[in-house]
Amino acid sequence: MPLLDVQDLRVDLPVEAGTLHAVRGIDLSVERGEMLCLVGESGCGKSMTSLALMGLLPRRAQLSAGRLDFAGESLTALSERRRGQLRGRRMAMIFQEPMTALNPAYTLGNQLCEAFLRHRLGNRRQARERAIELLERVGISAAAERLAQYPHQLSGGLRQRVMIAMALMCDPDLIIADEPTTALDVTIQAQILRLLRDLQQEMGTAVIFITHDLGVVARIADRVAVMYAGEVIETAPTQALYANPSHPYTRGLLSCIPAPGKTPPGSRLQAIPGVVPSLVGEVEGCAYRNRCPLVREGEVDAARCERTPELRRLTGDHQARCHYAEHRAATRVAQPEMSP
């Protein structure tokens, strides 16, 4: 039984022009100790998905799901009280903006120990010891002194390390990391990624890592789910996805990444032309067809793309939401370096 089992998750937001279908029926499953990467451009619904899983959606948002099970329990059936007991305890979250995600008015120690004490995992002394232990584990020196410091006294990279330690305080089963490295410098990004990967393997915590950067995915993920316009359009084990990207959008994303040694110097980086369709109101047919190179080049029957494609199983664990997933166009994909 997977740790997290999601089927047909939908999130609707009322907006002035009607209803925004931010998440349009996605299926996800995460095994214990697995790292799943959720990839997509901004506005594709990946952050809404993570907030829905945490139960932190804005009040006006409406959630529905065929199944939303966490460790065998249905999250939709839980009372708000019981949900609060899970949140922070068994599922934790790391946010994108380390500069603003910590409360400026309280010390790090206060904020680190808060969840531990709230979920009654021990007394103040034990909370403090665990905080020091975790701060050291995430690579912060002089951990005991840091507890008395305030967030503004730390750099962005250090704050993100504190956020990671904070997420680990209660030893959760699942951590959702929503673009945790986007706001950081490139060198620090790499450090934080390695740290997350190491911790995940060491502690056996499942992680949903949300990013818009496929280059990041290759380095850390066990499995990848690519999102577009509120749907999962392709999901596969990382190796399989890079070896055999089957949805034209995934191929487009991959060709946007420069690969050392393969992208000729001085050549233009690719971009996907066109814009994401508005998710206000119903979207009929394939959501990608207005940008799809297969349609544009006339290689496939566009009429068929007017019908909404299903997420189809191609091989084993590889699924894609495209009528022409088996079609191999002339678009050749430069593959990024895979780290071991």
Partner 1 sequence: MTVSTSTTSRPSRAPAAGGRARALGELPLPRPAWSRVTRKMFGHRGLAIGLVCVGLAVLVALFAPLLAPHDPYFQDISNRMVPPVWHDKGSWTHVLGTDKLGRDYLSRLIYGTRISLTIGLVAALISGVIGTTLGVLAGYFGGRVDAFISYIITTRLAMPVVLVALALASLTGGSLTTVIVLLGLLLWDRFAVVSRSVTQQLRDAEYVYAARTLGCSLPYILVREILPNIAGALIVVITLEMAHAILLEATLSFLGMGVQPPLPSWGLMVAEGKAYMFFQPWVIAIPGVALFVLVLAINLLGDGLRDLNAPGGRN
Partner 2 sequence: MGTFIVRRLLVALGVALTISVVSFMLLHLSGDLATSIAGPEATAEQVAQIRVEYGLDRPIVSQYLDWLGGALQFDFGRSYYYQSTVIDLIVERMPITLTLGGLALGLAVCISIPLGVVAALKRDSWVDRLALLFAVVGQAMPSFWFGLTLIVVFAVTLKWLPAAGSGGLEHFILPAIALGYYATPAMMRLTRTGMLEVLESDYIRTARAKGLSTTSVIFKHALRNAIIPVVALAAVELGFMLGGSVVIESVFSLGGLGQLAWDAISRNDYPVVQAVVLIIALFYIVLTLLADVANAALDPRIRTR
Pairing of strands 18-30, 4-15: antiparallel
Binding of partner 2 at residue 89 (CB under 8 A)?
Answer: yes
Binding of partner 2 at residue 84 (CB under 8 A)?
Answer: yes
Bridge partners (DSSP) of residue 12 are: 21, 62
Identify which range of 156-164, 187-195, 251-259, 296-304 contacts partner 1 by CB under 8 A.
Answer: 296-304
Q: Which CA distances in Å does 321 have to 67, 229, 287, 314? A: 20, 12, 10, 10
User: 277 touches which of partner 1, partner 2, none (CB within 5 to 8 A by kind)?
Assistant: partner 1
> Considering only residues 60, 152, 268, 332, which one is a binding residue for partner 2 as defined by CB under 8 A?
152
Per-residue interface string for the shown chain with partner 1, residues 16-55, x marking contact by CB under 8 A: xx--------------------------------------
For the purposes of burial, counting CB atoms within 10 Å of the CB of 42, is it exposed (0-12), middle (13-18) or buried (19 or more)?
Answer: exposed
> Considering only residues 14, 66, 204, 273, which one is a binding residue for partner 1 as defined by CB under 8 A?
273
Identify which range of 167-175, 188-196, 234-242, 276-284 contacts partner 1 by CB under 8 A.
Answer: 276-284
Maximum distance among all Cα pairs of the chain, rounded to whole angstroms: 68
Residue 326 falls in which region: left (phi positive, over 0), alpha (psi -120 to 50) or beta: alpha
Output 100 or 123, the one with its CB closest to partner 2.
100
Report the alpha-carbon angle 317-193-197, nearest 5: 55
User: 166 touches which of partner 2, partner 1, none (CB within 5 to 8 A by kind)?
Assistant: partner 2
Please, what is the minimum distance in Å from the beta carbon of residue 292 to partner 2? 36
Q: Is the dihedral of CA 119, 120, 124, 127 positive or negative?
A: negative
Binding of partner 1 at residue 335 (CB under 8 A)?
Answer: no
How many angstroms separate the CA atoms of 164 and 140, rounded? 11
Binding region for partner 1 (CB under 8 A): 16-17, 273-275, 277-278, 280-281, 283-285, 287, 289-291, 295-298, 302-303, 306
